[in-house]
Chains A and B, each alone.
Chain A
Amino acid sequence: MVPKRGSSKGREETERKSSGTARKSPIVLPLVLAYLIPGAGHVYLKRHWHGLALLAAISGMFFCGILMQGRMFVPTSGNIYTTIMTYGGYIGDLCNGLLYVLTVGLGYEQETLPGALHDYGTKFIVCSGLLNLLAVVDVFEIVSGEKAES
């Protein structure tokens, strides 16, 4: 039996069809946007407030790290501890996407300074990258249909 147009069953079917269409939407573009600009993937998927909250929190953490004169990691090979620390930190920094590229491209460079605050700044920069990675994974879950909005 074909549900009547405008009935609740008909609306459900239309919504199901439209969500099926959303699943077929390109998966790469929102992921790339989410990686490059924190929250942009969510904005692209019409979740504007979520995107803005992510942009404020992730870029806020990144810029607080910069204001604390945090250091960007440079991958260095040495003993196992140094290698894991510097490569891991470098990957975390890279996860910031355009924020990292622009900051380094504009010539931000920070030598190691005494005091805990600069060290916190370094960790803030890495953590903002890791949080951006969480946002990218969230975008992937939304696009692949694994995460349904209720």
Chain B
Amino acid sequence: MLELSHLQVAILFALLASIVMGVVGRSSDRARVRYGLYCFGYFIGAVFVLGWLMRIGHG
């Protein structure tokens, strides 16, 4: 049984999804790494932005 916090689950999902998107999304290895990092950054950015929006929205 895996016991993870919400943030840990979100980071794990971002990491694994970014690997797949990096591999299938571009056609050269350098571009793959860059695109994977780009996706990971956007996932994490979205987690923080949406997290703060929910925090502010709930008061």
Contacts and interface: CB of A to CB of B under 8 A. Distances in A.
B55 to A, nearest CB: 16
The binding surface of chain A is classed by DSSP as helix
A87 to B, nearest CB: 23
User: What bracket does the count of chain A residues touching chain B fall in?
Assistant: 20 to 34
A127 B43 CA distance: 15
User: What bracket does the count of chain B residues touching chain A fall in?
Assistant: 10 to 19
Contacts, number: 58
A134 B21 contact: yes
A53 B19 contact: yes
A134 B21 CA distance: 8
Interface of A: 42, 50, 53-54, 56-58, 60-61, 64, 67-69, 116-117, 120-121, 124, 127, 131, 134-135, 137-138, 147-150
Interface of B: 1-4, 6, 9, 12-13, 16-17, 19-21, 23-24, 27-28
